Amino acid sequence: MKKIAELLVCFLHPVAVILVWLNLVVRPELSGTAKIVWGVLALVPVVPFVYVLTGGELWEKKTPAVPR
Does some domain include residue 44?
Answer: yes
* CA-derived radius of gyration, the chain: 18
Which sign does the torsion angle of CA 44, 46, 48, 52 carry?
A: positive
Does some domain include residue 16?
Answer: yes
Q: Is it the case that residue 58 has pLDDT exceeding 60?
A: no
Query: Count of residues for the chain?
Result: 68
Does some domain include residue 9?
Answer: yes
Does some domain include residue 6?
Answer: yes
Q: Is it the case that residue 56 has pLDDT exceeding 90?
A: no
- Interval 8-44: pLDDT, tens: 877 888 888 899 999 999 999 989 998 998 888 888 8
Instruction: Tell which wins on pLDDT, 65 or 43.
Output: 43
CA distances from 39 to 7, 17, 64 (A): 23, 8, 41
Are the C-beta atoms of residues 59 and 2 closer than 8 Å to each other? yes
Does some domain include residue 20?
Answer: yes
Are the C-beta atoms of residues 35 and 24 closer than 8 Å to each other? yes
Q: How confident is the model at residue 1 (pLDDT cuts 50, 70, 90)?
A: confident
Give the residue numbers spanning the domain of 49: 2-53
Does some domain include residue 67?
Answer: no
Give the number of domains in the chain: 1
